[in-house]
Amino acid sequence: MDKRTILNSKHVEITLRRLASQLKENHGDFENTVLIGLQPRGIHVLERLKNILETDLGKELTCGQLDITFYRDDFRRREQPLIPSVTNIDFIIEDKRVVLIDDVLYTGRSIRSGLDALLAFGRPKDVELMVLIDRLFERHLPIQPHYTGKQVNTLSSQVVKVEWEEQDGADEVILCTVDE
Amino acid sequence: MDNLSVDHLIGIKDLQPSDIELIFKTADSFKQVINRPIKKVPSLRDITIANLFFENSTRTRLSFELAEKRLSADVINFSAASSSVKKGETLIDTVNNILAMKVDLVVMRHPNPGAAKFLSERVNARIVNAGDGTHEHPTQALLDAYSIREKHGGDFKGRKVVIVGDISHSRVALSNIYCLQKLGAEVMVCGPTTLIPKYIDKLGVKVEHNLRKALEWCDVANMLRIQLERQDIKYFPSLREYTMLYGLDKQLLNSLDKEITVMHPGPINRGVEISSDVADSDQSIILQQVENGVAVRMAIIYLLASKIGR
């Protein structure tokens, strides 16, 4: 398997700080904004952003975790059933500004499921999408992020892996080419 | 393991402990779903389910129907009382006619033990046994165990559960015994000699005929309904005598040195196997059982449906 680093730990840190700044520009004191990470990997991005923003703003932000398993469109197309992760949204999203956060945007199907899952909790004022990595050229649905950490050109045979220090030993984004 | 080891849910006897854990883990997520403002997910929008009830039922049928609808499945209901079964149609013919309408999954209650297994070997659909005579009622056992897990935590090792009442005529009792033992709990049955099968101890359960002693031993008491409709002869002199010896009332509950959890699969004969003040007390988890029933049945249907090919 061929591997290439897209972002090393320093770049991940810089990218997250930039994304946090962009969020602050658009959401001010976050009074009416909630941040929601998509399970399973988007919650790591959310956690890092939350730390940066809470330190900068000196206040706690309203954050949640959203599982999309039951809203996916590939149920029964896989060998194994889709086993859900935890959803943790213990606040009202009605009329809130919601920022959905995920690690990688690829076909757009996960985000479509995320929007469906989100609407089961109420009707937000608006929804924005933030992703750490936007994989170009393989979108199946008309979905684009409002905030992007880095855009990368990829082939469908390639995989983008986002690794985190607490889980994988180091912050790193890798592009892997899977051998045929 | 991320997949059930079985293609049908006929009985708890066929399940591995890992199957039960998977069902519980999935039910945890569905319990979250049914407590949201919008209690529905689109997972099973291309699945059709037939609920075939050849025997009367209220809560189990409603619970299954609600579970199916909350998964967005298409649902058709059938009850023998108002069907061609009365005209002499066989079980296989009835079911095959329903399956010809492109049904993917069948939930069936039948008065004869083995009916669900019989069907699973002959029709091309997933079968969920919603009670087959006095044999098994696996979804009830799973929701009972799930409710105990919720109340007392996940570890069943050393947990002591007594099942009180009409063990002989109860499919809930047999499924509960299998389920709790697979999870590592100790099980006791308690009731009059006439309502406890002669060789029940071969299943590895304790037998006690004194209710007070049984309650002093246990952490959880599952009070079964006296199934007068299944009793062909009189098994005890009178309901009044049964209540005096095996009915759980507040006075008895309060006289114990510890707090036990009280369960009942319903419908309750208030004032017979359990008094109203016990049924409505803080120690009773009867309504939690009902709520958990929907989540557990959603999990079972979801996991079985994931094995249906397109």
Percent of chain B with pLDDT over 70: 95
| B40 contacts on A by Cβ (under 8 Å) | 120
Tell me what pLDDT residue B84 has: 61
| CB spacing of B29 vs A69 below 8 angstroms | yes
Q: Does A10 touch chain B (CB under 8 A)?
A: no
Q: Do B38 and A121 touch (CB under 8 A)?
A: yes
Is the alpha carbon torsion for A148, A152, A157, A161 positive or negative? negative
At residue B228, does pLDDT exceed 80? no
Among partner residues A76, A87, A120, which is closest to B305 by beta-carbon distance? Answer: A76
- Mean local confidence (pLDDT), B18-24: 96
Average pLDDT over residues B130-143: 95
Average pLDDT over residues B31-56: 90
The answer, yes or no, to whether residue B128 has pLDDT greater than 90, is yes
pTM reported for the whole predicted model: 0.86
User: Which residue in B has a C-alpha nearest to residue A86's C-alpha?
Assistant: B29
Which residues does residue B220 pair with via DSSP β-bridges, in sequence order? B161, B261
Q: Average the pLDDT over B17-26 and give the result.
A: 96
Indicate the residue of B44, B302, B310 with minimum beta-carbon distance to A77.
B310
Residue B86's pLDDT is what?
65
pLDDT reported for residue B262: 97
Q: Taking CB atoms and an 8 Å limit, are A76 and B32 in contact across chains? A: no
Structure confidence at residue B184 (pLDDT)? 96
Say if A28 is an interface residue toward chain B (CB within 8 Å).
no
**Which of B6, B298, B306 should we substitute to test contact with A (largest number of A Cβ atoms within 10 Å)?**
B306
- pLDDT of B274 reads 93
Name the band, by pLDDT with cuts 50, 70 and 90, for residue B232.
Answer: low
- pLDDT at B1 > cutoff 60: no
From CA B12, how far away is CA B9, in angstroms rounded? 8
Q: Count the Cβ atoms, other than its own, within 10 Å of residue A43.
A: 24
Per residue of chain A (180 residues), what is the pLDDT tens digit? 788 999 999 999 999 999 999 999 999 999 999 999 999 999 999 999 999 999 999 999 999 999 999 998 887 777 777 778 888 888 889 999 999 999 999 999 999 999 999 998 889 999 999 999 999 988 999 999 999 999 999 888 899 999 999 888 899 999 998 775
Whether the per-residue pLDDT at B15 is higher than 90: the answer is yes
CB contact under 8 A, B29 and A119: no
For chain B, what is the mean pLDDT? 91
Q: How far is B310 from chain A (nearest CA, A)?
A: 7
Q: Range with the lowest mean pLDDT among A52-66, B52-66, B233-247? A: B233-247
Catalytic residue, from B13, B59, B151, B209: name it: B59
Is residue B285 within 8 Å of B262, Cβ to Cβ? yes
Listed in order, strand segments (DSSP E) in chain A are 2-7, 33-38, 62-66, 97-105, 126-136, 147-153, 158-163, 172-177
Say yes or no to pLDDT of B229 above 80.
no
CA dihedral (B218, B223, B226, B230) in degrees, to 10, reads -90
Is the Cβ pair B306, A77 closer than 8 Å?
no
B159 catalytic? Reply is no
- What kind and span of H or E run contains B17? helix B17-34
ipTM, 2 dp: 0.72
Strand positions, DSSP E, A74-178: 97-105, 126-136, 147-153, 158-163, 172-177
Q: CA separation (Å) from A167 to A53, A60, A172, B161?
A: 22, 24, 11, 40
Instruction: Give A-chain residues touching B303 at CB under 8 angstroms.
Output: 81
Res. B119: pLDDT tops 60: yes
Please choose, from the candidates A114, A92, A89, the residue with its C-alpha nearest in 3D space to the C-alpha of residue A32: A92
Is B193 catalytic? The answer is no
**pLDDT at B78 (0 to 100):** 86
Q: Which of A76, A84, A86 sits opposite B308 (nearest CB)?
A: A76
- Candidates A96, A31, A35, A95; CA nearest to A59 is A31
Whether residue B41 and residue A122 make contact (CB cut-off 8 A), yes or no, is: no
Question: What confidence tens digit (pLDDT) does each residue in B85-104 have?
Answer: 666 778 888 888 888 888 99
Q: Do the chains contact at A71 and B41, CB–CB below 8 Å?
A: yes
